[in-house]
Structure 1
Amino acid sequence: MNNKLLSWLLFTLLCFIWGSSFILMKEGKTALTAAQIASLRIFSAGIVFIPFAFYHIRFIPRKKMGLMVVTGLFGNLFPAFLFAAAIIKLDSSLEGILNSLTPICMVIIGIAFFKDKIEWQKILGVIVGFAGLCLLAISRQDINLGNLGYAGLVVLATIFYGLNVNIVGHFLKDIRPVHMASVSLAFMSVPAGIVLWSQGFFSLDFSVRDLQWSVLNVVVLGIVGSAFATVLFYALVQKAGPLFASLVTYGIPFVALFWGALVGETITIKDIACLLLILLGVFLAKLQIGKKVVDR
């Protein structure tokens, strides 16, 4: 398959998976606390990967083993807890907008700490796409700021994501995505399991239907939204570069509107115009002008 086509396929699939994660978290909070949601999510992802990690760890250079822990912390564990805590109080629409700060954080961290040189049209694309997201939020008039402290949790998560994308793009390019994801998430299953136990999860009454439904949603979120999606994301970073991979967060509104349409919500011309503006931003960020320069 053509490398460009594969990159767009991975991009689209990740948009759908992560765009659906807010719904799963919302369902999870029906009978679980924020800490239980986050720890069960990462624990489920790690447990799935443990058998593979025992085999894949041999392909990870020992000098990069510390980076496996770092990428697991900043790319999965910490953001999972931050998002779970925020979803308890924030509207999913606001959380989606704040999550889309990831590309901006990635660019700032890349330039400030990794001395990246990013083409002007890529930076313009990030700005145009984010402008489209803000206009979409305003046009739908469903943003409720709520508690700014919870909004800050999501912003901190995007900073962690931006840092992790730069780490993967600069220091782990030679490691296969499935090896990276399986080993890092297997490591994270240990602290996640400890938190899950300390939160009394294993003492809950699992005969309660609401609890069963919440657990099911969070386990699906962990296996698909963390384990499977992490492999896809690291593959996208390696194939298309960190900046383009981080723009996956710009695809979340498309998925949100898709779910909204399924339940009978109205999609307006303004919505479509904003989505086209977001697409323009993604196109500009991916566009190559003149000499090909990879954004990593």
Structure 2
Amino acid sequence: MQKQRVVNWVIFGVLSLIWGSSFILMKVSKEGLNGMQIGALRIFFAGLVFMPMALVHLKNFTLRTFLLALLSGTLGNLLPAFLFAIAIDHQIDSSLAGILNSLTPLLVILLGILFFRTPVPRNKLVGVSIGFAGLLLLSFSKGGISLQNAGYAALIFIATLMYALNIHLVTRFLKGINPLHLASVSLAGVGLAAGAVAWQQNSLAGWSSSEATRWSVGATALLGIIGSAFATVLYYALIKRAGGLFASLVTYGIPVIAIGWGVVAKEPVTILQVACLALILGGVWVANRKAGT
């Protein structure tokens, strides 16, 4: 049991590192591509990686689980990739985007209570609330929130809601499927749709003539292969091993990694920001500690 908990935390840490570092690749991607092109190419490359495995593993799916896998890929990867890329392309405030993205655990709890009759232990509700409070304080400690282009914040919120819905979908209907099989089939399926959008958007038009476009496409490919394909396998595995709420708390680990990158870049980090990170991590610990400890 202890070994299983350690493995869960290791997966949690790796996912936090991957998604917390994704903003670096997205920043490079923006140099030569627009939001629609980034979203389409990201999921296309992720699906391309999984296509051979999907053809092998497809025999393990019934028609029902295949359609549910496609729905999972749509809610968990395809549509959010477009929504996030478009919002970031329109310069939405990063603090506001981080706060909205970190609503995922709260939305998981809310949807579970309203639609899935999921019992929520008090320690999980308290822990999620503590972590979110720490995230709010962290955002304000970094200079507050700008409402410039705040209309695009709705796109981030919709994406976050889709993440929460997908967690319940996987937890209730797809938890018995091998995470690698599920990730390969779901991403290969939606990758075809993303490829069509990438072609319609003429995403590779500047490949031969623009070095910026080549760097952007390369960064987007890494974003798809690591940030979507590899991370999705780990995420489905974490949902299967530790439950959807614990997996959703990865969004609380993202600002910790972002601050870490700031330290590497020699950006100033205040004592208040460190205290906020401790509060966030403390909330994650409270939400996942055993009852009675």
Q: State the TM-score, normalizing by the size of structure 2.
A: 0.96
Deviations along 1:79-102, one digit per CA (max 9) or x if unpaired, are 000000111121333322211011
Mapped partners of 1:151, 1:87: distance in 2: 10
Deviations along 1:21-64, one digit per CA (max 9) or x if unpaired, are 12211211111010000000000000000000011111223321
Give 1:111 shift.
1.2
Aligned counterpart, 1:275: 277
SS in 2 for 1:47: helix
Aligned counterpart, 2:145: 143
Mapped partners of 1:206, 1:149: distance in 2: 36
**1:90 lines up with 2:92 in the alignment:** yes
Letter in 2 for 1:75: G
Mapped partners of 1:103, 1:206: distance in 2: 43
**1:245 lines up with 2:247 in the alignment:** yes
Cα 1:205–1:212 change in 2 (3 A) is closer
Mapped partners of 2:278, 2:62: distance in 1: 43
Aligned counterpart, 2:119: 117
Aligned counterpart, 1:58: 59
Letter in 2 for 1:165: I
Check whether the contact 2:21–2:257 (CA below 8 A) recurs between aligned residues.
yes
Check whether the contact 1:79–1:157 (CA below 8 A) recurs between aligned residues.
yes
Aligned counterpart, 1:12: 13
Aligned counterpart, 2:163: 161
SS in 2 for 1:165: helix
SS in 2 for 1:254: helix
Please list every run of 5 or more consecutive structure 2 residues that lacks an aligned counterpart in the other structure: none
**1:76 lines up with 2:77 in the alignment:** yes
Mapped partners of 1:273, 1:94: distance in 2: 20
Mapped partners of 2:219, 2:190: distance in 1: 20
Give 1:142 shift.
5.3
Aligned counterpart, 1:294: none
Letter in 1 for 2:58: I
Mapped partners of 2:229, 2:137: distance in 1: 32
Cα 1:142–1:30 change in 2 (3 A) is farther
Mapped partners of 2:246, 2:256: distance in 1: 17
Mapped partners of 1:95, 1:258: distance in 2: 18
Letter in 2 for 1:172: L
Give 1:290 shift.
4.6
Aligned counterpart, 1:208: 210
Letter in 2 for 1:76: N
SS in 2 for 1:154: helix
Letter in 1 for 2:36: A
Mapped partners of 2:234, 2:28: distance in 1: 24
Check whether the contact 2:207–2:214 (CA below 8 A) recurs between aligned residues.
no
Range that drifts further, 191-200 or 59-68: 59-68
Letter in 2 for 1:166: H
SS in 2 for 1:204: coil
Aligned counterpart, 2:30: 29
Map 1:165-204 → 2, pairs under 5 A: 165-204=167-206
Mapped partners of 1:139, 1:11: distance in 2: 25
Check whether the contact 2:93–2:150 (CA below 8 A) recurs between aligned residues.
no
Percent identity over paired residues: 50
Mapped partners of 1:221, 1:206: distance in 2: 21
Mapped partners of 1:206, 1:282: distance in 2: 47
SS in 2 for 1:284: helix
Mapped partners of 1:199, 1:110: distance in 2: 37
Deviations along 1:69-125, one digit per CA (max 9) or x if unpaired, are 110100000100000011112133332221101111111111111110010110111
Q: State the TM-score, normalizing by the size of structure 1.
A: 0.95
SS in 1 for 2:269: coil
Range that drifts further, 222-231 or 200-209: 200-209
Aligned counterpart, 2:101: 99
Give 1:202 shift.
3.4
SS in 2 for 1:201: coil
Mapped partners of 2:208, 2:123: distance in 1: 52
**1:45 lines up with 2:46 in the alignment:** yes
Mapped partners of 2:269, 2:260: distance in 1: 9
Range that drifts further, 95-104 or 155-164: 95-104
